[in-house]
Structure 1
């Protein structure tokens, strides 16, 4: 055989191990990061929960360095009826007992409290959709969750500012509030904040707290009628199921209040103002909220201790007003309010998002 033949064989023998090495390890080098599994618990469906979680999922989808999955059998929403709410501890314990979840989302104060009550001490818990985690006693303060495997978003002084703005514009004497008489119900109604500001500014809070956990339309209508009998001259629209635009005729409730010529403030965004509330917070932009929560989740999924992740989110309140409602109830907006309003609706109309339900 020629020398060139042996040289060719030698070159093959030298190259083959390298080829084998490359073929053996190429798939491993090209693999995507391990998929992180996220569980979910809420007391029941609520439009604010849906929009918050959708924004969170979208923000995570925009972060390709973190692959996530949402196992269907780790997603629980029992419902707002009392017998279903009673299942929260069981479902929370079920999620905390699993060993295959990298993060569990608690949506709403009731769900977060249930998870913390069943906490296994190591599965990270991310709280969302809470009106005021500090007032609810869920966290120790704006800078410390108080629990090593828990974090959430905290917005300081949001509701006290809301009541001050509403009173500064309307100058009401008796503010009506509907709520469910539970710790979570009082927090969602911002009842303590309302009473604190009332004491400071000199108005009364008329609170109707006989709603069930279902917060039905009939219960809310009965409550509104009672508050009217007691002299309510302004009403705060909180995050109640009867004011859930996905499940109830919110426009009819707003029309009722406008027929009574009661000024209203909507906590949850300008879609309520467009539908007939006198004023409220301007468009609730879920994008930044989803991004903030996603940043927290990514930090935790990458190994950060949840308690070390910053919770404070500074959000500047913006205001929307409805001019048609103002005329209808006989309320003239001061000129300075017209100048500083972020959104002005000249006519009342059901938002397109509501028409699609």
Structure 2
């Protein structure tokens, strides 16, 4: 018990050490996040994504609510939208946001729904508008692909890139301190995946870690594959992999994602459930159920919502999303007030808090001493396994 207590304490200490700052969006010259008394112009804002993802309909309304709190728009209540309905959410914002400072342009929503064959066409259409039509003043970009598509010198419109797993590994920016372009800002939390993998290994002590992912350059960065390989070598555990097809959450790909995860079950003693379009409300219950039935602990790369649905552990995301959204909002506000995106700090590290499902722990027969310690130290504890509707 003492050895285990020390192991988990070490894990917590490592997380705390690696996640020291929550980040403040600032540059050498101080720019206010408050709107000026008089609007110089009405900023026209657009939106770009590679395709739907469950965090996007959470992050965008959070940014909108923060803009209202700062006084940039009139207070409003944004209705919930499914990840597949981001175009409807954008249309609602365009019609309902009231402000003398900014507007969400109705026809400035871009998404290719993860359809690889439409990516370049969508990218060129957006860039042509930014470069030639020049009727958009700022783009909110969601996800790794959006950053890869628009963080370049083919235009000069300010872009704020949100929800990127690893902006450096995916070659969106050269490093955490510099976006590489005056008009580009990309929030980074450079050590978050390292924190996750170290803490999962410290707590569980697995020998064979399973991981299922799309084996493409972009998807490998989403899934933190390079970090996994590096830490596996360092910690001397085996990484057991299977690959999911590209193309998003089609019915066929969903089936293959479930089959892929199930094929790992007899070969592993822990599972790192990565961020992917094929980990969704249709597939997740079956993936988690297969792992739990085999008494295999699951760590969710995504966060708390998947712990609520039966994964054993993750880094709690309730505070993380609030902090990230506030950071993005401050960046947008300072850009409107004159700051260059490149000059603003990009690093924002979320607090290291654990999400834990005690019902799952009982299902997989987690050792009692580990169970008790997690129960005491977890920030979010779920009493049951819920299924998303």
**1:260 equivalent in structure 2:** 294
Q: Does residue 315 of structure 1 match 2:322?
A: no
Deviates more, 1:284-293 or 1:83-92: 83-92
Instruction: Say which SS state the counterpart of residue 239 (structure 2) adopts.
Output: strand
1:345 to 375, 378, 382: 382
The answer as to 2:109 corresponding to 1:75 is yes
Partner of 1:57: 64
- Alpha-carbon distance between aligned partners in 1 of 2:195 and 2:72, rounded to the nearest angstrom: 38
User: Structure 1 residues 93 and 255 mapped into 2: Cα distance closer, same or farther (>3 Å)?
Assistant: same
* Aligned counterparts of 2:295 and 2:121: Cα–Cα separation in 1: 41
On the 8 A contact 1:214/1:241 being kept in 2, the answer is: yes
- Deviation beyond 3 Å, 4+ runs, structure 1: 30-33, 84-88
2:181 aligned with 1:147, yes or no? Answer: yes
Structure 1: distance between partners of 2:72 and 2:244:
48
Q: Deviations over 1:116-152 (max 9, x none)?
A: 24631x2111111100112222112111111111012
Q: Does 2:233 align with 1:226?
A: no
Count of residues in correspondence between the two structures: 319
Q: Separation in 2 of the partners of 1:287 and 1:132?
A: 19
1:298-329 Cα shifts (integer Å, max 9, x gaps): 11111111110111112222111112212212
Q: Report matched runs for 1:139-288 at 5 Å.
A: 139-215=173-249, 216-229=253-266, 231-245=267-281, 248-285=282-319, 286-288=321-323
Is 1:48 matched up with 2:71?
no
**87-96 vs 212-221, which moves further:** 87-96
Sort the Cα spacing of 1:53 and 1:86 in 2 relative to 1 into closer, same or farther, 3 A.
Answer: same
* Alpha carbons 1:323, 1:344 under 8 Å: kept: yes
Q: Corresponding residue for 2:128?
A: 94
Deviation at 1:194, TM superposition (A): 1.1
Greater relative contact order (Cα 8 A, min sep 6): structure 1 or 2? 2
- Separation in 1 of the partners of 2:353 and 2:129? 38
Is residue 82–residue 214 contact of structure 1 (8 Å, CA) maintained in 2?
no
Contact kept? 1:89, 1:118, Cα under 8 Å:
no
Structure 2 residues without counterparts, runs of 5 or longer = 1-36, 74-100
CA separation of 1:219 and 1:84: change in aligned 2, threshold 3 A: farther
TM-score (norm 1): 0.83
SS in 1 for 2:62: helix
Structure 1: runs of 5 or more not aligned = 1-29
Going from structure 1 to structure 2, the CA distance change for 1:315 and 1:31 (only over 3 Å counts) comes to closer
CA deviations over 1:18-69 (Å, ceiling 9, x no partner): xxxxxxxxxxxx9655221111110111111221122112212222247221
CA contact (8 A) 2:262 2:290 kept: no
Q: 1:253 to 1:85 in 2, by over 3 A?
A: farther
Shift of 1:186: 0.5
The offset of 1:81, in angstroms, is 2.9
Secondary structure, aligned partner of 1:155 = coil
Q: Which residue of 2 aligns with 1:24?
A: none
Structure 2 Cα separation of the partners of residues 87 and 228 of structure 1:
40
Counterpart-to-counterpart distance in 2, 1:109 and 1:118: 17
Q: CA deviation at 1:189?
A: 0.2
2:244–2:257: 8 Å Cα contact kept in structure 1? Answer: no
Deviation at 1:162, TM superposition (A): 0.2
Contact 1:108 1:129 in 2 (8 A): yes
- Larger Cα-atom Rg: 1
Report the CA distance between 1:218 and its aligned residue: 1.0
